[in-house]
Structure 1
Amino acid sequence: MKKILSVIVVVVVTLTQTAQITAFAQETDKPTVNAQACVLYCVDDGKVYFSINGNKKMKPASTTKLMTSLITLEYADSADKVVTFTKDMTAEGSSMYLKVGEKVKLSDLAAGMMMASGNDAANAAAISIAGSAEKFSELMNNRAAVIGMKNTHFVTPSGLDDENHYSTAYDMALLMSYALENESFAKLTSQKSVTVQFSEPQSKRTTYVNHNRLLSMYEYCTGGKTGYTMAAGRCLVSSAKKDGLTFVCVTLNDRNDWNDHIALYNYGFSQLACVECDDSDYYLEIPCAGGDDEKISVTGTKGKNIVVPFAKKENVARTVYADNFLYAPVKDGDIVGRIEYTLDGKTLASTNLTAVEYSNTQNKNKSIWTKIKDFFTYGKE
């Protein structure tokens, strides 16, 4: 074997398109949207790719229940207590049709909000969790601040109109993106219907159908929430995922919301592509000098996905940087290299190469001169 002279091994691989993607024209015209305000937001890179009055304060109607149901599910995940419906929990408008004295779990109230858009369910959850709708709205506004919803103020848990109850298309996109990180919420919002088994009366079992028709109209839709009042008009927040890429779409006061969401998603998916930076299945062995083992096993890691122009997905280069050999000791988890993803000479992301076993213990009896000799002669026959 020849003496090893170089210290870096570089392997460049141009990514090929592994997922079957429907062909779209790359110079797609932007869609015409009827909404007074709208936003198309990419969850994967946190950027807006289409906006009309995205930061205009408007009435969000029942899309408010995205926040109410999220907080409710968080409480239910820790303690899914049974709630007794009382007279002060009643509300006008859309309803889960709860009756005074009936008992359901917190998670059932969240289902009633997300499926039937129940104002009674929202009030019941708010009063049960915080003691009153007013105190619950404080929880909502505190969470909005955490999310970064700078132009939002909640007053009611249901979304019924109030002059001080407002949000923006952009803020609601941030909320939906944030909420999707909660597994319970993501599962609930994707359901076309949910059957609730009442705790009291135990004989009552009701199936609630999701008002979000986009789940049936658009194959890539993963969830969302409808809303409507006379003052707010038709409101819709939805999400869609295709080939690893996730968008959130928000339209406020839009009489053609279903079709507008589909048009916006088609536009987004025709312009962008997702490159998955998952190198967890990458494996190699690197010679190791100065230890008990001749080679050390190295594996890749998983990084965050990157978003690139659709037309340039196949131009993304994947470059592996690793030493020709290692020197003991090498511990399990030690970073010994990296894999970089670049496009047009710009590094977009990188993942680490790590040792996967503790298999090299340096021989402490070796002199410094022996170690130096090992360094320069390792691999020579």
Structure 2
Amino acid sequence: MCTYTFVGDVNETKSLYPAVYSITAELDSCGKLCRYERSGQYDRRRKNKDDKQSVASISKIMTAVIAIEHGKLDEAFTVDEEINKAYGSSVYLKQGQTVTLRDLLYALMLRSGNDAAVEIAKHVSGSQEAFVEAMNQKAAEIGMSNTTFSNPSGLDEEDGGNISTANDMAILMSYAMKNKEFRTITGSKYYTTDWNMRWKNKNRLLFDYPFTIGGKTGFTKKAGRTLVTAAEHDGVESIVVTLREGDDFAFHEQKHTEVFQKLDVVTIMKKGSYTVNGRTFQVPETVKVTLHKDGSDKLRVKTHYDHKDFVVEVQKNKDVSVYSFASKRARGGGLFS
């Protein structure tokens, strides 16, 4: 039997991330690996969070990230002979066909095309080997400490294939969802190509659960069923990862719903320009904190100047986030305006 508890995981930081609280599953013999989060902070206090295993096509989230960050999405190019190396799930690309990287990203994320993954790697990095190196560099950069990628598709290999954990895949999805292009692609139900192919997203939750905003499916014999989904409701954003869960779509819907029933978002400072004591500063993103709806959380907000920076300290129970905004002298004084 699985039990669920709310936990906080906000570290003191100068970066502009909201204070975040998440619901997480504490696992015994359930066989489910999952996590929930809001806007980029993640919980490290989870049983089985670092169990390594093959993750199949949810690896393609990283493939998409590398392509978006390093490629030109609307530049047309010709599919080359590398496509003949692809096998498994396919959108039936042909050598000599003209495509854009954007086309291939939709093929990758909606239809899980291994041929799209192979061609993306060759086009963006010159070879699959160079692309996989970029995947592993990005994994290390964003804190995926238990992940090793060996190909852009997620296919099993004799020496292991792509190995990761539920925790690391949640970190990856959180990072990816900050990118507007990725967010648009993963949240699309359909995509029609210039050559009149219409693709439907394999993520059933997009059709069955109205708050779903993205995700990626996966399956191999070695990995079993793998699934990452993201959902959003009333400002609360939830990410769920399952590895080797048979009834995965129903499980994800249930856990997203639990998050939304128990959490609410409070705005601390809205995006915009403010004047305090004769100095102005810009808040580039709205600062929010996620709280329990039952009123059990203790929230405290303090503000002060640190040299020329306007500093906002947000404390929820024992967890603290610090936001620092550069300021300059204004013509007029006054309080928040």
- Structure 1 pair 355/104, CA: closer, same or farther in 2 (3 Å)? same
Whether the 8 Å CA contact 2:297–2:317 is kept in 1: the answer is: no
For residue 184 of structure 2, what is the amino acid of its counterpart?
Answer: K
1:101 alignment partner, SS class: coil
- The higher radius of gyration belongs to 1
Supply the distance in 1 between the matched residues of 2:276 and 2:123 (Cα, whole angstroms).
58
Supply the distance in 1 between the matched residues of 2:32 and 2:319 (Cα, whole angstroms).
35
For residue 95 of structure 1, what is the amino acid of its counterpart?
Answer: S
Counterpart of 1:123 in structure 2 is: 118
Counterpart of 2:165 in structure 1 is: 168
Task: Give per-residue Cα distances to partners, 1:4-34, cap 9 Å, x unaligned.
Answer: xxxxxxxxxxxxxxxxxxxxxxxx9969999
Task: Give per-residue Cα distances to partners, 1:51-103, cap 9 Å, x unaligned.
Answer: 552211111111111111111122334x6432322333132111111122111
Counterpart of 1:190 in structure 2 is: 187
For residue 306 of structure 1, what is the amino acid of its counterpart?
Answer: V
Query: Is 1:47 paired with 2:20?
Result: no
**Matched residue count:** 306
Supply the distance in 1 between the matched residues of 2:117 and 2:249 (Cα, whole angstroms).
25
2:90 alignment partner, SS class: coil
Flag structure 1 segments of 5+ consecutive residues without an equivalent: 1-27, 198-203, 287-295, 323-332, 361-381
- Structure 1 pair 68/231, CA: closer, same or farther in 2 (3 Å)? same
Supply the distance in 1 between the matched residues of 2:31 and 2:76 (Cα, whole angstroms).
40
Whether the 8 Å CA contact 1:44–1:305 is kept in 2: the answer is: no
Supply the distance in 1 between the matched residues of 2:29 and 2:210 (Cα, whole angstroms).
22
Counterpart of 1:309 in structure 2 is: 292
Whether the 8 Å CA contact 2:291–2:297 is kept in 1: the answer is: no
1:233 is displaced (CA, Å) by 1.1
Supply the distance in 1 between the matched residues of 2:26 and 2:320 (Cα, whole angstroms).
32
For residue 138 of structure 1, what is the amino acid of its counterpart?
Answer: E
- Structure 1 pair 95/268, CA: closer, same or farther in 2 (3 Å)? same
Runs of 4+ with >6 A deviation: 28-35, 281-286, 297-300, 319-322, 350-356
Identity of aligned residues (%): 32
- Structure 1 pair 195/31, CA: closer, same or farther in 2 (3 Å)? farther
1:253 is displaced (CA, Å) by 1.3
Query: Is 1:89 paired with 2:83?
Result: yes
Within the candidate set 232, 236, 242, 2:233 is matched to 242
Counterpart of 1:151 in structure 2 is: 146
Task: Give per-residue Cα distances to partners, 1:268-305, cap 9 Å, x unaligned.
Answer: 2334332222245797887xxxxxxxxx6978845532
Whether the 8 Å CA contact 2:27–2:48 is kept in 1: the answer is: no
Within the candidate set 51, 59, 63, 2:54 is matched to 59
- Structure 1 pair 169/280, CA: closer, same or farther in 2 (3 Å)? closer
2:183 alignment partner, SS class: helix
Moved more, 47-56 or 236-245: 47-56
Supply the distance in 1 between the matched residues of 2:239 and 2:267 (Cα, whole angstroms).
19
1:223 is displaced (CA, Å) by 0.2
Supply the distance in 2 between the matched residues of 1:164 and 1:35 (Cα, whole angstroms).
25
Task: Give per-residue Cα distances to partners, 1:211-258, cap 9 Å, x unaligned.
Answer: 011111212111010011122111101111122222211111111000
Supply the distance in 2 between the matched residues of 1:37 and 1:313 (Cα, whole angstroms).
28
1:44 is displaced (CA, Å) by 3.1
RMSD value, Cα: 3.4
Counterpart of 2:101 in structure 1 is: 106
1:206 is displaced (CA, Å) by 1.1
Residues 224-235 of structure 1 mapped to structure 2, 5 A cutoff? 224-235=215-226
- Structure 1 pair 50/226, CA: closer, same or farther in 2 (3 Å)? farther
- Structure 1 pair 266/142, CA: closer, same or farther in 2 (3 Å)? same
Query: Is 1:180 paired with 2:171?
Result: no
Whether the 8 Å CA contact 1:212–1:224 is kept in 2: the answer is: yes
- Structure 1 pair 252/263, CA: closer, same or farther in 2 (3 Å)? same
Whether the 8 Å CA contact 1:35–1:254 is kept in 2: the answer is: no
Whether the 8 Å CA contact 2:265–2:289 is kept in 1: the answer is: yes
Residues 260-299 of structure 1 mapped to structure 2, 5 A cutoff? 260-280=251-271
